Amino acid sequence: MLERDTKFLEEAFKQYYFDHFDLIHVPDRPNQREFGYKKFNSGMNRHISLKNDNDLHFLLMTNIPSDVFCSNACYSFPNMAMAEKDWKEADLIFDIDAKDLNLSCRKEHTCIKCLSCGEASLVQDSCPNCNSTKLDLVSLSCQNCISGVKKEVLKLTSILTDDLHIPSDNITTSFSGNEGFHLYVKGSQYNQLGSKERGNLIDYIMFRNATPETFGFNKFKPSRSSFPEFNEPGWRGRVAKELFGSKSKRPKTISKIISDGYSTYRQKLVDIGKNSIGTKIDPNVTVDIHRIFRLEGSLNGKSGLVKLNCENIEKFNPYSEACLIEDNQVEIFGKCPIEFRLKNRKFGPYTNERISVPKYAAVYMICKGIANLA
């Protein structure tokens, strides 16, 4: 990133933190949490201990980070090296991102940026300017992407409350500040689980490694009565609804399943897990019990949008409500070949042209690498 772009972003981020301290707080038990941050054009700084909001606000104003993080884990010594921290427990955290949904609309709002010459263009195999194949994909998610992620969030929340018996009051949902949502489960019976056990939990939530026997197919002696019913709780009820569609179709569908055989049924369970009933979450996030996670109320350095709590996810519009940078006009060179919307305004496409846009749009495009300060 060019030095003047870095300076512009740092000034914009500093102003945001000065204006919005009320949104940024240390989590519960801050003296047991590890904090970290990144600056533009530099690496991660972690193993930091903070005691209260004042410490956090001082860190923000003196370092002006691009991203701020806090551990989901609690330690006896959070500022020590990892092997010496003395892990106690960790909140369950789930990450659902638009990039993992493989929605058809994604190709319409994704472009490439050449790492050799900096040219941005519509998706193709090589840079149209210099023919380099060293390319970065840049996605500017749309409302359809966000709607898709919201459906996964609601699906996950249902599994957590209905199957795992986690009280809804213990679950917090936040927009990630870029293309997805984070779910935190605090104060649950699962906080003591290690990475391996969390992996097993993820298999359940994502409907992975399901066996035909669990869902009614005895390999040696199939029985119609053992297949799942519509009114059963948990995955058996969900599988029944997905497989049969309606109670009237159940007998005929079971006959076909038995006729097709055990292996075909096993593959059918795999397919519906991947494509419909399984929740599409990033498993690596949940199993990492030492991860430092983006702090709520902080800005996301990939977009300039805020990681923000969602009290009503179905009504929440991240590209309006989480867009809190100022709106004074800024001159930039836009290199954005696709259209996007912020605060209900349309921007782009721009073909390396000098334009005046609100500061929040300038920050968004520069963070995405598809604009430079004029």
CATH assignment of the domain containing 83: 3.90.920.10
pLDDT at position 41 over 90: no
Is residue 146, in this structure, part of any structural domain at all? yes
pLDDT at position 352 over 90: no
CA pair distance 327, 304, nearest whole angstrom:
13
My answer on whether 228 and 82 are in the same domain is no
Is residue 268, in this structure, part of any structural domain at all? yes
- Structure-token match 């921290």, residue found: 85
My answer on whether 150 and 25 are in the same domain is yes
CA pair distance 70, 298, nearest whole angstrom:
11
Per-residue confidence (pLDDT) for residue 92, from 0 to 100: 95
pLDDT at position 332 over 90: yes
Per-residue confidence (pLDDT) for residue 98, from 0 to 100: 94
Cβ neighbours of residue 224 under 8 Å, at least 6 residues apart?
251, 254, 258
Is residue 133, in this structure, part of any structural domain at all? no
Per-residue pLDDT band for 1 (boundaries 50, 70, 90) equals confident
3-class secondary-structure state, position 258: helix
**Mean pLDDT in residue range 29-58:** 95
Is residue 122, in this structure, part of any structural domain at all? no
**Mean pLDDT in residue range 40-63:** 94
**Mean pLDDT in residue range 112-133:** 92
Q: Which of 260, 358, 232, 247 is nearest to 304 (CA)?
A: 358
Instruction: Report how many domains make up the chain.
Output: 2
Handedness of CA 128, 132, 133, 136 (dihedral sign): negative
Q: pLDDT digits over 140-177, tens only?
A: 989 999 999 999 999 999 999 999 999 999 999 999 99
Choice among 55, 100, 282, 327 that is catalytic = 282
Domain that holds residue 83: 3-100+142-203+282-365
**Mean pLDDT in residue range 267-278:** 92
My answer on whether 151 and 243 are in the same domain is no
Per-residue confidence (pLDDT) for residue 24, from 0 to 100: 93
Task: Judge if pTM exceeds 0.95.
Answer: no
Q: Is 95 a catalytic residue?
A: yes
Adjacent-strand bridge partners of 86: none
Is residue 38, in this structure, part of any structural domain at all? yes
**Domain boundary residue among 260, 275, 290?**
275
Choice among 97, 162, 271, 327 that is catalytic = 97
Percent with pLDDT over 70 in the chain: 100
Per-residue confidence (pLDDT) for residue 221, from 0 to 100: 86
My answer on whether 21 and 87 are in the same domain is yes
The burial of 182, by beta-carbon neighbours within 10 Å (0-12 exposed, 13-18 middle, 19 or more buried), is given as buried
My answer on whether 188 and 248 are in the same domain is no
Q: pLDDT digits over 194-249, tens only?
A: 999 999 999 999 999 999 999 999 988 888 999 999 999 999 999 999 999 999 99
Per-residue confidence (pLDDT) for residue 219, from 0 to 100: 87
My answer on whether 76 and 32 are in the same domain is yes
Q: Is 53 a catalytic residue?
A: no
Mean per-residue pLDDT of the chain: 94
CA pair distance 246, 133, nearest whole angstrom:
50
Per-residue confidence (pLDDT) for residue 179, from 0 to 100: 93
